[in-house]
Structure 1
């Protein structure tokens, strides 16, 4: 009887250890997969933010030129020969946000430390505000009357000067936020 009890006890202990090891290996494997997903998220978010930074860097000089040229024309006493050859459209941006949205939907975003998630949220909030402002800017420009007189020329130059000033401010702030966030993430 003693032999049977000790055999049974050994079998129970063996099975328990086996189950425990199975769970441990499964958890280790799952943690490894989650870590890989999280590292991939960080890498992809970094790429998306960098891509959006590149977009801004490609247009900010143009927006500064439109702003400064508009100001120059506004400083003139007469605007009879106003020909805004410097203006080639508003050239505002649409930003990528698919990685950010995927991170939120999958719940991986919640694994970020609070200061990182706040910095990233700040970028995407400012990008959204920029896009909304861009739509307002375009709507305002479309509704302007383009008559061939000095009053109309001044209105257009004023509108471009003010709106491009705001666009440049928003782009500069976004670039600063993006650079700081990339440093924080990496």
Structure 2
């Protein structure tokens, strides 16, 4: 009887160890999968940020030119050309944010360190702020009086000068944030 009881205890312990090792391996495997998905998320976010950065780099010089040109023409004693040739629209940007949003929705963002999450959140918040400002800029421009008078042209030039200053500042801040975020991601 003692022999059978000892064999039974050994079998129970063996089964318990096997189940325990099965859980350990399963948890390790699941953690590895989560880590792989989090790594893929960071790669996708990095690509998304690089794409958005390239978009800003493509338009910032145009916005600087509009800023400088509108100031120049505004400061002229008289304006004879009521349709400034330098202005080809506001050319503001709509940013990509699907990788970051996917990370939030899937919960994979929680696998990333808090300092990276905060930096990424800062970048995407600045992008939203830029897009909100762009919408205000467009709505303000649409409501302006576009007749061929000098007073109307001066108002538009002043509006463009002030607005483009803010756009350029926001774009410069975004470029700086992009660089810091990309540097942090690559650590």
Which residue number in structure 1 is paired with residue 59 of structure 2?
59
Q: How far did residue 79 of structure 1 move?
A: 0.5
- Name the counterpart of 2:11: 11
Matched residue, 2:2: 2
Match of 2:80, SS? coil
Which is further off, 104-113 or 170-179?
104-113
1:101 is matched with 101
Q: Verify: 1:88 aligned to 2:88, yes or no.
A: yes
Match of 2:161 in 1: 161
Instruction: Work out the CA distance in 2 between the residues paired with 1:109 and 1:152.
Output: 50
Kept after mapping to 2: 8 A contact 1:80/1:149: no
Partners of 1:99 and 1:115 in 2: how far apart? 18
Range with greater deviation from structure 2 (120-129 or 103-112)? 103-112
Aligned residue number for residue 79 of structure 1: 79
Note the 1:14-29 alignment, pairs <5 A.
14-29=14-29
Alignment of 1:138 onto 2:138:
yes
The aligned residue for residue 125 of structure 1 is 125
Once superposed, which parts of structure 1, at least 4 consecutive aligned residues long, lie more than 3 Å away? Answer: none
Alpha-carbon contact 1:59-1:91 (below 8 Å) kept: yes
Deviations 1:20-44 (CA, angstroms, capped at 9, x unpaired):
1111111111111111111011111
Which residue of structure 1 aligns with residue 32 of structure 2?
32
Task: Give yes or no for contact 2:63–2:164 (8 Å, CA) kept in 1.
Answer: yes
> Could you report, residue by residue, the CA deviation over 1:85-122 in whole angstroms, capped at 9, with x for unpaired residues?
11111100101111111111111212322221111111
8 Å CA contact retained: 1:73, 1:82: no
Give aligned pairs, total. Answer: 186
Distance in 2, matches of 1:10 and 1:81, equals: 97
**When the two structures are superposed, what TM-score results if normalisation uses the length of structure 1?**
0.96
Q: Output the aligned Cα RMSD.
A: 1.0
- Is the CA contact (8 Å cut-off) linking 1:103 and 1:109 kept in structure 2? yes
1:138-176 deviation digits (Å, cap 9, x = unpaired): 011111111111111111111111111110000000010
Distance in 2 separating the partners of 1:79 and 1:34 = 63
What are structure 2's unaligned runs of at least 5 residues?
Answer: none
Q: Which runs of 5+ in 1 are unaligned?
A: none
